[in-house]
Amino acid sequence: MGVSYHTLEREKIFKEPPKDKFPYPLLQEAVAPHIGSFNALMDGPDGGLLNLAVKDIGSKSVFDSKDVDRLGNKFSIRVESVQIAKPSLSAKDRSTINRQLLPSESRERMTSYRARMIMKIAYRVNDGPEVFENREAGLLPIMLMSNRCHLEGMSPAELVKNKEESEELGGYFVVNGIEKLIRMLIVQRRNHPMAIIRPSFTNRGAAYSQYGIQIRCVRPDQTSQTNVLHYLNDGNITFRFSWRKNEFLVPAVMILKALIETNDRAIFDGIVGAETDNSFLTDRLELMLRSYKKYDLYSKKETLAYLGDKFRVVLGAPADKSDIEVGKELLQRIVLVHLGDDNEAKFRMILFMIRKLYSLVAGECCPDNPDAAQHQEILLGGFLYGMIIKEKIEEYLQNVCAQINSDVNRSVNVNFDDEKYISRMLLKVNHNIGQKLLYFLSTGNLVSQSGLDLQQVSGYTVVAEKINFHRFISHFRMVHRGSFFAQLKTTTVRKLLPESWGFLCPVHTPDGSPCGLLNHLAHKCKISTVKSDVSQVPEALRSLGVAPASSFAAGPKHSVVQLDGKIIGWCSHENAIRVADTLRFWKVDSPKYKIPVDLEIGYVPPSRNGQYPGIFLFSGEARMLRPVKYLPLGKEDWVGPFEQVYMNIAISPDEIASNVHTHVEYSPTNILSILANMTPFSDFNQSPRNMYQCQMGKQTMGTPGTALVHRSDNKLYRLQSGQSPVVRAKLYDEYGLDSFPNGTNAVVAVISYTGYDMDDAMILNKSAHERGFGHGTVYKVEKVNLAEKRRRGDPITQRFGFGPDSWPESWREKLDSDGLPMIGAKIEEGDPIAAFFDETSGKTRVKKYKSSEVAFVEEVKLLGEDSGDTEFQNLTIKLRIPRAPVIGDKFSSRHGQKGVASQKWPQVDMPFSESGIQPDIIINPHAFPSRMTIGMFVESLAGKAGALHGIAQDSTPWMFSEDDTAADHFGQQLLKAGYNYHGNEPMYSGVTGEELRVDIYIGVVFYQRLRHMVNDKFQVRSTGPVTKLTMQPVKGRKRHGGIRVGEMERDALIGHGTAFLLQDRLLNCSDYTQSTLCKQCGSLLSAQVSVPRIGTTAVIRCRSCADRVVDAVSPEDEGRIWEDGTGKRFKGGDQTATVAIPFVLRYLDSELAAMGIRMKFNVEPK
């Protein structure tokens, strides 16, 4: 049914990797958004985002005089351009001819894959000629497979030659040998005014209401600025923006009057238009315009000068700029920045936003949902990277000016004509931008003055773990809502909304705290990384009867036409639907106008209290897009989440209704992510089980890659007996997942055969285990760095190898003469793994293996320094730890049916069928009724039929129907092979040989071995290290901490009546202590040791019960007198007893005593 085995093809690809193209292009497409966004930094029609960014920063100025009236000489500095080289070896390394630095070297040497970043700085004094100077800005981490990586454009054969995977995807960075990825985040859709009702808006001030219009404007360099219009209860409207983490509020009318030369009448007409009878609107508008009179600002110049005066310090404007120029800069940098310097367009857009806000307050339109995919886009890693670089460049220019200013204020001799002084200033300021980006990638923390218009400061990067290939590929399709939302008490943001259909996978999200916040893209969803060419769209719209924007204003009674947040014009509602439909026809196949196929045509029809109507066209970057079939032309159309809400797309060709549907899905599975598609027959399962499988597929001990010999991961899992599944989805082959097998086909019988399969446990066939079922290996890397404690410049005093001193001869059994372990040597706890001679002490020392598990030395790598000419001081030893399945290891089918191996049952005692088949695994029938994983039943049938006929079975969901059922399809195949139609078979007891009185359901199911293993988790301890304060065991398995007996375990022990066990766990092996108690007053704290007399032992007495002795006493009483060590004498207090208590009780008593609460203990006589 469309799938087949590709085992030989896989072997052929690995033996002779293709020399032209990748065999599985879908894998490259999965990672494309990451690489495309990074490539945009240096590529593009405008020279890349970084060069757009430095243009936007402009120049910074400083003067060499403190006098405000006489400013002196003006020094201006700017960055002309930014260049990023390709990674190369350090300039210190003079011994190497080939200067290329490849990612494999960075991985193995545990360094970062970085390249030089060069800023071309231009500065001038007064109006003199500009002086250009190239300044290195440190080493910038480079994304693999990007246009700044050496691997770009390499064929699989060349990649293998350069120690990479033949299917190397890229899209991540190598930081200190660890693969790091910038995660994709959901942000508000760009350049679209969104109506929101937010109760927190009322906190802005007394008159503020909950209504607002928010627009996130994005500049061409992808940095953004959010503008908000607030509705006040008195009808007024204020404009809010945030700058350098501070919020500012300005009357909206002031912004309008600063943009263009206008008057109140023009503003009134621009908002009201022909709706003069709308008293709700006109009354509030009149109030707004009247309340503005108090500012006494009428002309554009006056308004700009007023704004410039107020915001001069905020914007850090130079002293020689006039207030009007500062006002213009405010409008350019903050107000609707996506429209650049087009103040006319900004004016019209703010009028539209005011009209929409009044409509929201009046209830004419509903608020937009910020949690719906319709109003969201994706913040891509490359764009965020560029935003940080831009901010760091701007910081550098500001710091240079601040340094010169500091010199001026301290009356240091400042001479702008002296080139040495300028060079000294440029060097004095930290210009190592690469180091700041390295910190960002390694920690995920954003250190920013402005906050970059984002809602979080941490959690931007994750480790691209290679536990198995499924987990690795999922990292690149992962989309997070933002760490800000993880702390919210409300569950609204986590809900699965219908707008996400086809863009975000409804299944692939974790269970637990990140549920609904951490989503994954559907496998056909792509994200645009370049802006489409829409130069001919306005002309096409005019030809369709769209009136120009300047001709008249209109409210909800007309449809506004916007292109990327710019008002192009207006048209009637009757005409709007014709405009949208014609535009879509032309976009898919246009002989006349060049309209990009990924243009989003969001037509919002007029409705009662619905969304604000209009035609909203989007062509920008960071949009989610997906392919569907356009029925009138039978061609591919790309749709976005904004337009999809108002489109009619049929799921399958059978559903198409004439005059209703315009599009049809290519396949119903397009709504699922890559991993969710791999669950066989997922349409038969209860949905939580499909969610669990998406998690467990990523925790499987599988095949992380093929270039394992060139990796130095701290921990790597590998399944030795991976197989190609008999039952698989079509996409399994299209993504080439046979190259990375993730499990084993097992014969599974559903039978309650022994008591060992209760509660999801499973019985393993001991012979299957001996044949290698689920056999895995863990690779661990031990690092030995002799230069760790050596300071820079100090001579080398430690060298690998044995010294002339005496050392145990047993060391040589494991180590070679060079002090390094022998490949293949068996290592046990306490064995030496490397020897080195310390010249300072004159002794040979060894680093010992500390783990209790037996390991074998797989590889020893000697790592050199960056300079390439110093003696090696660093090595890594890769250890191989065999991990055959043991009792307690976790297994799972591909249907969320997880369980632990409870017993290895001898093969002779396993039940057998009439054909002599004995199961590899026995599971309990109780695993099915409550979980409703019918897909596993179907997989068992299909796997059995596939194994008998030697064919692969297609398990793509939604293939079967009520007329053509899966049970019948596979049942007929079983009948042809001579087996029972229902998959049942009579079986015989392996112990007695008698036939079991019931037919047993037996078939072939693909089983996964998960990475949760007993050997990593078991914890044993009687006594050991304790914390000083409470004397209770420390936490943690590595530190030999206490085993976790919590409240529920305690209850279980009480319920079973095991009193001694309870005492052993909670007292004897915890904080057992012997303490003295006063029987008379019942105090634990007042008993103390007396000062012993000569010839006698010290005794313990209760100080609070004893009487102070001041005068001399008779000789017979002298024997009963005791001293407390400070010279004070007491008599009595001898009613003490030694008791065994938990030390924490004594601690509690001390804490309560500090609060003035006395505890009294009764000591009953034995």
Q: Which residues pair with 826 in a beta bridge?
A: 856
Contacts of 161 (CB under 8 A, 6+ apart): none
Do residue 289 and residue 399 come from a single domain?
no
Residue ending a domain, among 413, 430, 464, is: 464
Residue 93 pLDDT class (50, 70, 90 cuts): low
Residues 1079, 1061 within the same domain: no
44 against 335, higher pLDDT? 335
Q: What is the CATH number of the domain that holds 625?
A: 3.90.1070.20
User: What pLDDT score was predicted for residue 9?
Assistant: 82
Q: Which letter does DSSP use for residue 883 in this model?
A: E
Whichever domain contains 816, its CATH number is 2.40.50.150
410, 430, 464 — which closes off a domain?
464
Average pLDDT for residues 976-999, to the nearest whole number? 92
Q: How many other CB atoms sit within 10 Å of the CB of residue 341?
A: 9
Across 525-561, b (16+ Cβ under 10 Å) vs e yields bbbbbbbbebeebbebbeebebbebeeebbbbebbbb
Question: What digits encode the pLDDT tens for the residues 1106-1142?
Answer: 888 877 777 666 667 888 777 788 888 888 888 899 9
Position 800 in a domain: yes
- The pLDDT of residue 1055 is above 90: yes
Same domain? For 554 and 536 the reply is yes
What is the model's pLDDT at position 552?
Answer: 58
Does the structure show a pLDDT above 60 at 1?
no
Domain range enclosing 1030: 1019-1068
Q: What is the pLDDT of residue 68?
A: 64
pLDDT of 690 reads: 94
319 Ramachandran zone, left/alpha/beta (phi>0; psi -120 to 50): alpha
Residue 1132 domain flag = yes
Cβ atoms of 748 and 894 closer than 8 Å: no
Q: What is the pLDDT of residue 1146?
A: 92
Do 393 and 138 touch, CB atoms closer than 8 A? no
Range from 528-532, 657-661, 1050-1054, 1091-1095 carrying the lowest mean pLDDT: 1091-1095
Asked if the structure places residue 542 within a domain, the reply is yes
| Spacing of C-alpha 26 from chain mean position | 22
What integer is the mean pLDDT of 231-242?
92
Q: Does residue 902 lie in a domain region?
A: no
User: Residue 593: its pLDDT value, please?
Assistant: 86
Residues 439 and 572 in one domain: no
Domain end point (choices 883, 918, 945):
883
Domain assignment present for 786: yes
Beta bridge partners of 618: 600
Q: Is residue 1136 part of a domain?
A: yes
Task: Tell me, yes or no, whether 121 and 205 share the same domain.
Answer: no
- The pLDDT confidence band at residue 661, using thresholds 50, 70 and 90, is very high
The CA–CA distances, whole Å, from 847 to 109, 208, 735 equal 20, 68, 44
SS3 annotation, 769-793 = HHCCCCCEEEEEEEEEECCCCCCCC
The string of pLDDT tens digits covering residues 765-809 is 999 999 999 999 999 999 998 888 777 767 788 888 888 888 888
Model confidence, pTM: 0.90
> What distance in Å separates the CA atoms of residue 1093 and residue 1089, rounded to the nearest whole number?
12
The pLDDT value given to residue 794: 76
**Confidence at residue 94, expressed as pLDDT on a 0 to 100 scale:** 60
C-alpha 14: how far from chain center = 32
State mean pLDDT over 565-588: 92
Q: What is the dihedral of CA 528, 531, 536, 538, to 10 degrees?
A: 90
Q: Write the pLDDT tens digit of every residue in 432-466.
A: 999 999 999 999 999 998 889 999 999 999 999 99
Inter-residue contact 956 to 730 (CB < 8 Å): yes
Question: According to the model, what pLDDT value does residue 1166 have?
Answer: 53
Q: Is the pLDDT of residue 986 over 90?
A: yes
Could you tell me the CATH number of the domain that includes residue 320? 3.90.1110.10
The answer on 355 and 419 residing in a single domain is no
Give residue 209's pLDDT: 93
The dihedral region occupied by 495, where left means phi > 0, alpha psi between -120 and 50, and beta the remainder, is beta
- CA distance linking residue 748 with residue 762, whole number of Å: 10
Copy the structure tokens of residue 154.
Answer: 């390499």
Work out the average pLDDT over 460-476: 94
Q: Is residue 658 part of a domain?
A: no
Report yes or no on 839 lying in a domain: yes
pLDDT of 412 over the 60 cut? yes
Query: Do 435 and 559 fall into the same domain?
Result: no
**pLDDT above 80 for 621:** yes
Considering the domain architecture, whether residues 170 and 271 belong to the same structural domain is answered as no
**pLDDT value at position 183?**
94
What total number of domains does the chain contain? Answer: 6
pLDDT at 687: 92
Q: Which of 96, 101, 97 is CA-nearest to residue 85?
A: 101
What does the alpha-carbon distance between residue 618 and residue 640 come to, in Å, rounded to a whole number? 9
Q: pLDDT tens digits, residue range 721-740?
A: 999 999 999 999 999 898 89
Q: What is the mean pLDDT of the chain?
A: 90
Domain of 1100, CATH number, reads 3.90.1800.10
Residues 228 and 322 in one domain: yes
Residue 493 scores a pLDDT above 80? yes
Q: Phi and psi (nearest 5°) for 71? A: -75, -25
357 in the same domain as 226: yes
Q: Are residues 433 and 554 in the same domain?
A: no
Query: Rounded to a whole number, what is the largest CA-CA distance in the chain?
Result: 126
Whether residue 133 is predicted with pLDDT greater than 70 in this model: the reply is yes
Residue type, position 633, single letter: L
List Cα–Cα distances, 366 to 191, 193, 212, in angstroms: 19, 13, 12
What is the share, in percent, of the chain residues with pLDDT greater than 70? 97
Range name among 45-49, 139-143, 818-822 with the lowest pLDDT average: 45-49
Q: Based on the domain organization, do 1063 and 1111 belong to the same domain?
A: no
Q: Is the pLDDT of residue 914 over 70?
A: yes
Q: What is the mean pLDDT of residues 368-382?
A: 94
Report residue 643 as tokens.
């337009």
Residue 98 in this model has a pLDDT that exceeds 70: no
